[in-house]
Amino acid sequence: MDYRVQPRRALHALLIAAAGCSSGTSGFNNGGGTDAGNNTGMDTGGMVTPDVDRGDGRTDGAGVGLSVGPVAGCITRPSGTAVCWGNNNTGMLGTGNEVTLFHAAPVAMPANIQEISVGQYHTCAVLTDHTVSCWGTGRSGQLGDGMSADSLTPVHVSGLPSALHIAVGLEHSCAIAMDATVWCWGANDQGQGGTGSISTTLPTPVMSVGLSGITSIAIGASHTCVSSRQGGVYCWGANTSGQLGTGDTNGLMTPTLVGGIVDANAVAAGRNATCVLHSDNSVSCWGDNSGGQLGDGTTVNRTSPVRVIGVTDAAAVAVGGFHACARRMGGRVVCWGRNDAGQIGDGTTVNRAAPTAVAGITDAVDVGAGTDFTCLTRGDGRVYCWGQNQAAQLGRGNTMNTAAGLVPGLVVGQ
């Protein structure tokens, strides 16, 4: 559900899990964009291989991956371990219990995590052997083990081809396989599985129809979007706010091309909004704009893409519940949209319909957005968060909302 995207570098096409999903209280990364938004893959003629964009111009297979869900966050380390913090009331943080994490704590999984994506009620991870494990709520089959039971510990996703990237939404999950196809499981009541039909659940992975050459994926509350190596964007699922970008609000059961986008580097999805990072480093968004999260200076919903004002040097994008953010090439971060909890990070609670600089940040290498909070990774690999903290999603050791939460602060326990 986190919604984040990062650009291709030369021949590299971004492969992202943009986690970020929401049930009316969150964004799904991006924002972010999700997911470890620092993962890229080289196009190798239909196959994709992982390579980590460190954010410093090098893709040397080492780095840190950030995933921000609606009310929690996780970060993976080069060693393959992960730590998480925030709301854990369904056990989606992988600690083996349902206790809220006031600071970063280890996930109860062997040290072989390649990428992680945090959702509203569940979390999934791609492991270094290219299998996928999920944990948390499983009532809609979103854990992918053929069951509808919850699990406090990771369960293996059944029948999934070798995977590279993962994204989770409110109650569904999708992965990009090594052959650049897309597979989804879990809730499909809005067609979010992309199978061409509606069903209550998909208890095990099913291939989304008509897709090939996919390089990035992002999931909102109940919609899914991908970008292809040809530069196109395809979306499907719920479309109540125009989040599919097809010029109307009709839901879709099959992946459908978003008009006017031919140069997509990657895609990010929030609750009911979607953004794309273009090859010229500009950003376009569409869907719900009630908080100004499309960045076009208005609060008018858009059923087709509109450009974000003043962003011409974006290196990554994250979409949250009602706000969005972009990491600029030089390491600064700008955010826009709803700011009632200080999620923009400018030290105020004034809504921003156009991009506004996050205070004190000049060295960001990744960014992720939740329902009403935001996190970033700095150049030293440490994560800082700001905004709403009622579920301990800022990782500061408490659930207090204070003036200090209006600007980036270090997540404790990393």
Q: Hey, where are the domains in the chain? A: 4-410
What are the φ/ψ torsions at residue 18 (nearest 5 degrees)? -90, 85
Give yes or no for residue 201 having a pLDDT over 70.
yes
7 and 266 in contact (C-beta within 8 Å)?
Answer: yes
Query: Containing H/E element for 319?
Result: strand 314-319
Q: What's the whole-number mean pLDDT along residues 98-115? A: 91
Q: Which residue has the higher pLDDT, 387 or 34?
A: 387
Residue type, 320: G
- What is the reported pLDDT for 58? 23
Inter-residue contact 69 to 118 (CB < 8 Å):
yes
Three-state DSSP class for residue 282: coil
pLDDT at 107: 86
With CA atoms as reference, report the closest residue to 66 among 51, 87, 91, 83. Answer: 83
Reduce the DSSP state of residue 403 to 3 states and report it: helix
At 62 the pLDDT is: 30
d(CA 105, CA 80): 14
Residue 73 pLDDT greater than 60, yes or no = yes
**pLDDT exceeds 50 at position 72:** yes
DSSP 22: -
Position 288 pLDDT exceeds 60: yes
**pLDDT for the residue numbered 1:** 57
For residue 317, the model assigns a pLDDT of 98
CA dist list (Å): 329 to 55, 317, 366, 385: 9, 11, 11, 20
How much is the average pLDDT of 252-272?
97
Please say if the pLDDT value at position 157 is more than 50.
Answer: yes
Confidence of residue 414 (pLDDT cuts 50, 70, 90): confident
Burial profile 77-110: b = 16 or more Cβ within 10 angstroms, e = fewer: beeeebbbbbbbebbbbbbeeeebbbbbbebebe
Beta strand 17-18 with 214-219 is parallel
Contact 259/243 with Cβ under 8 angstroms? no
Which residue, 79, 139, 148, is CA-closest to 107? 79
User: How far is 381 from 238, CA to CA, in rounded Å?
Assistant: 36
The CA-atom distances, in angstroms, between 304 and each of 21, 202, 245, 286, 339 are 21, 29, 5, 6, 24
Nearest Cα neighbor of 94 from 127, 64, 130 is 127
Q: Regarding predicted confidence, which is higher, 42 or 334?
A: 334
Does residue 41 have a pLDDT over 90?
no
Domain 4-410 falls under CATH 3.40.50.300: no
pLDDT on residue 2 = 52
Q: What is the mean pLDDT of residues 262-287?
A: 98
* Residue percentage of the chain with pLDDT more than 70: 85
Q: What tokens appear for 347 in the block?
A: 């030290």
Among 197, 145, 201, 192, CA closest to 168: 192
**27, two tokens:** 């964004």
pLDDT surpasses 60 at 168: yes
Query: What pairs with residue 4 in β-bridges?
Result: 318
Ranking 16-20, 91-95, 116-120, 332-336 by mean pLDDT, the lowest is: 16-20
Query: Looking at residues 273-279, what average pLDDT do you find?
Result: 98
- The average pLDDT across 87-110 equals 92
Give every CB contact of residue 184 below 8 A, 6+ residues apart in sequence. Answer: 172, 173, 174, 175, 192, 193, 194, 195, 202, 205, 206, 208, 224
- Confidence band, pLDDT 50/70/90 cuts, at residue 352: very high
State the pLDDT at residue 121.
Answer: 96
pLDDT > 70? residue 6 = no
In sequence order, which residues have a C-beta less than 8 Å from that of residue 204 and are 6 or more positions away?
141, 144, 145, 146, 157, 158, 159, 160, 185
Main-chain dihedrals φ then ψ at residue 406, nearest 5 degrees:
-85, -5
**Size of the chain, expressed as the number of residues it contains:** 414
Cα first-last separation, the chain: 22
As a whole number, mean pLDDT of residues 202-223 equals 97
